[in-house]
Every structure is written in structure tokens, then in C-alpha cells.
Amino acid sequence: MSEVLLEEVPRKTRELFDKATAALERGNLDYALDMFLTILDIEPRLLQARKMLRVTQIKRAKEKGAGPLKRILLQLKTFPRLLAVGAQISKDPLKALQQAERLMSVDPFNRQTGLLVVKAAEAAEIHEAGIHMLEWMLENHPDDIELMYWLARLHDEIGDTSGARAIYEKIADLRPNDPRAIKALKDAQARDTMHQGRWEEVGKKEGFRLMLKNAEEAELLEQQAKAVKTANDAERLVDDLKAKIEREPRNINYRRALADQYLRLDRFDEALDALREADRISGGGDPQIDRAINAVTLRKYEAEIRTLRAAGRTAEADAKEREKDTYMMQDAARRVARYPNDLQFKYEYGVLLYEHGQYTEAIAQLQLAQRNPQRRLRSLYYLAMCFEKKGQLDIAVEQLKKALSETPTMDDTRKDVLYELGIIHEKMDQPEKALEFFKEIYAVDISFRDVAQKVERRSASAS
């Protein structure tokens, strides 16, 4: 079973997710824990809920605290249930996964419980849940080779050959003389190369048809993916789409396909006309059409700017750049007003406002945008940047620490958050505290921004 996104689940489930997230923000961890578990009982493929559950479990465990003796007692307490859940995997793996997550809530740092979650997820064919669990475990056991092999295999299971290859490369770095590691890497490289080549070949024929729910739109995209060798070929495809629109004037897919073909020919105004007509027919409520109009308009601006610069008309090109910038701001504001419940639009507008130095206005948008689980962490990050620019460093630190507590994996977002925490603590004249944040990045990614210079300069001055 493949992962589902939050926007794909029923409205009531999304409402439960919003309530659970709000409870987590307020620090009502027990309630948030129960809500996230309930959501996963309803839809076990909702990976975003599982990620938020993990954040809640970890935060709750850290707040409660557990010394070595308490950890041992917890392990003894859960051991009989671990055995029972393990025995259930072959009979009802989905039920076993639900029970294993409840055991994780008791002690999220228990290695055996984590392994149980992965086994149950794999047996239930919810491989993304297993991948997420293994990534969390590797955060705490970064040199565990067997966990890495397992994680790579699950990436292969979902067809992520490049992800699997990256993990095998890391294994080979850790075990450069291990025949098993060398063979695994060679096999992964071969699979990834074949997969990429096969996608290029199949994608134009059946790949889109398998992925897209709308077979009609798949056919249109497949037609457009074929090479257009002459101007006449392009015009024939345009004429064919126009004929289809004449037969079915309310078919939005044909108009979107026509706009896409015009865009390939750099006929921007005609592409915009086709999209605006699709928007009118749809009643003006399709945010994807709105996004397409925005994208084509920006492409038109960029083409005009390139033409002006190539002709040496620098002043006009600079004026067109300013016009484009104004359009981006105005259109982002318009979309927020037109789609008041679309948190993605609020996030995009908030980031633009931040980039234009309108920090108070950006905060208003980003505070709402953080309710979008896909944009929550970056919203918190930009909120912190806004408060920092306003000189409210203590509030900025609060936002960053909130984001840090919800980012267990050392990805780019966590690095950005740690770096800004370091920068702010430097501004707060707390160099030793700042160094702690920089060192956490330095330990895993020495090339990140100027973190190497910061850490090494401090170390040199100390010596």
C-alpha cells in the first residue's frame, strides 16, 4: 500500500489531524498522542500523521524523563507485549503495526519496539512507515550497518533506486573492504542505472497512463511527450486540440493540454487565453489552473527579460524585472484572498513578504501556514527569521526550538534551523551556546554554509 497525502484523506480525518497538531503545539501531548494513533487506525498509509506521532512520542518521553533504571523497567514491562505483537505480524500485520506504535508511545527509544514497527510495516506493505522508522533509528544508531541494509532494501521495494543507491554508498564508505558492501553497491548502481533508463523509455508510453487517474489527460500528455520535429507537427497538434475543444467545449483537460502545447511553442499569450477560459468554465475554483496561469505569466516575463538583455536594453530589462516582482507579490496576495483555506498559498505569500522586508505582514501569513503539515517546519523557520529581523530574538528562538523538536532527522531543514539558532545566539552574545548548534551541523556536514569556519575558528582561539 503506497503512502497517501493529507489532502487525499476524507475531510473528517483532516480535521482530526488539525486538532492533533494544535494539541501538540499547546503541549497537550497525551491528547495529541491519542489523536494521531486514532488517525493511523483510520488511515495507516498517512505518513504525515505517523511522522507527527513520532515527534509527539519523542517529545513526551523527553518531558517525562527516563534514567537507566527506569528504561530497564520499561523494557521489562513491555517485553510480554512485544512478544505478543511479534507473533501477530504473520496473522494480521496491520493490527500488529497499530499495537507496535502504541508500544512506541510507552518507550520510543526501545530498539526492539522500533524493529517491531519496521517488521509489521513491511509485512503490511506500508513500506514508507518502515523507512521512516529506520531513519529515526539510524539517527540514534548512525553506524548500524544492518539497519542501513534494511533501509536500502525498503527503498528498493518502493522503486526508489536512487535512494537505495545512496545508502549502499554510505555502507561502502563505512566498510570499504567488505565484499558484501562492495557487491551490494555495484548491484544498486546497476539497478539505478537500469531504472533511470527504463523510465526514460517507458515514461513517454505507459508510465503516465499508469500514474494518472484521468486516462483522458494521460493520453493528451502522452501525445505531447512525443517529439515535435517540425513547425507543421506542432501546428497539427494545436489544431487537433482545438478540434477536440470544439466538440467538447467544457472539457477543461483539452484546454489545459492546449495551453501546455502553446507554452512549448513560447506562445505565452495564447497559453494564457486557454487557461483563463478553463478557469472560467471551472467556475474559478481550481487552484491548479490558477497556479498554471501564474507559471505561464512568469515564463512570459522571463522570456521578455532575456530578449531585452540580449538586445542590450538593460534599463528596460531592469524595469521589466521590477514589473515581474510586483506581479508576483500582487498575484500571491490575490490567491490568498481567492482561496482563503489554501495554506500553501499563505506559505508562499508569507515567504515573499519576508523576502521583501514586510516582516509583520509575513508573520500573519506564516502563523496560519504552519497548520499545513507539508509546510509547517519551513513556516516556523521563516517565522523565526521574521522575528529575528524585528529584533525579537527570544521569540525567534522559541519558533526555531519548536521546529527543531519536530525534526528528528538531520535533513536540510534541521541544518537551517540549527544554523539560525547559532546565529541568533551569537547576536545574543552567547558564543558557547551558538557553538553547540554549529557543532551539531559540523559533525554531519562540514561543508554546510560557513559552519566549518565558525567551528574551527572558535577551536583555534580556544587553543
pLDDT by residue for the chain (463 residues), tens digit each?
A: 567 887 778 888 888 988 898 888 888 989 999 999 999 999 999 998 999 999 898 888 888 775 556 666 766 767 778 888 888 898 999 999 999 999 888 888 888 888 999 999 999 999 999 999 998 888 878 888 999 999 999 988 888 888 888 899 889 888 888 889 888 888 888 887 766 554 344 444 444 444 443 444 444 444 444 444 455 566 778 888 899 999 998 888 888 888 888 888 889 999 999 999 999 988 877 888 888 899 899 999 999 999 999 999 999 999 999 999 999 999 999 999 988 888 889 999 999 999 999 999 999 999 999 988 778 899 999 999 999 999 999 999 999 999 998 887 788 889 999 999 999 999 999 999 999 999 999 998 898 999 999 998 876 666 5
Compute the distance between CA of residue 367 and CA of residue 354 in angstroms, rounded to an integer.
13
Write out the three cell numbers for 214. 484521468
Closest CA to 85 of 104, 70, 72, 58: 104
Closest CA to 152 of 139, 176, 138: 138
Compute the distance between CA of residue 167 and CA of residue 151 in angstroms, rounded to an integer.
8
Compute the distance between CA of residue 1 and CA of residue 41 in angstroms, rounded to an integer.
15
Q: How many CB atoms lie within 10 A of CB 104?
A: 24
Q: What would be the CATH architecture of the domain defined by 1-130?
A: Alpha Horseshoe (1.25)
Q: For residue 46, what is the DSSP state?
A: B
Write out the three cell numbers for 394. 527570544
9 Cβ contact partners less than 8 Å away, ≥ 6 residues apart:
43, 46
Distance of CA 239 to the CA centre of its chain: 39
Task: Note whether 438 and 420 are within 8 A (CB).
Answer: no
Length of the chain: 463
- Measured between its terminal Cα atoms, the distance across the chain in Å is 56
Compute the distance between CA of residue 449 and CA of residue 418 in angstroms, rounded to an integer.
12
Please name every residue paired with 46 in a beta bridge, in sequence order, or none if there are none: 4
State the amino acid at position 183 in one-letter form.
Answer: K
Closest CA to 2 of 58, 56, 43: 43
Buried b (16+ CB within 10 A) or exposed e, 248-276: eeeebbbbbbbbbbbbeeebbebbbebbe
Q: Identify the pLDDT of residue 205.
A: 41
Closest CA to 164 of 145, 188, 186, 146: 188
H or E segment at 285?
none
Sign of the Cα torsion 70, 73, 78, 79 reads: positive
Buried b (16+ CB within 10 A) or exposed e, 74-94: bbeebeebbeebbebbeeebb
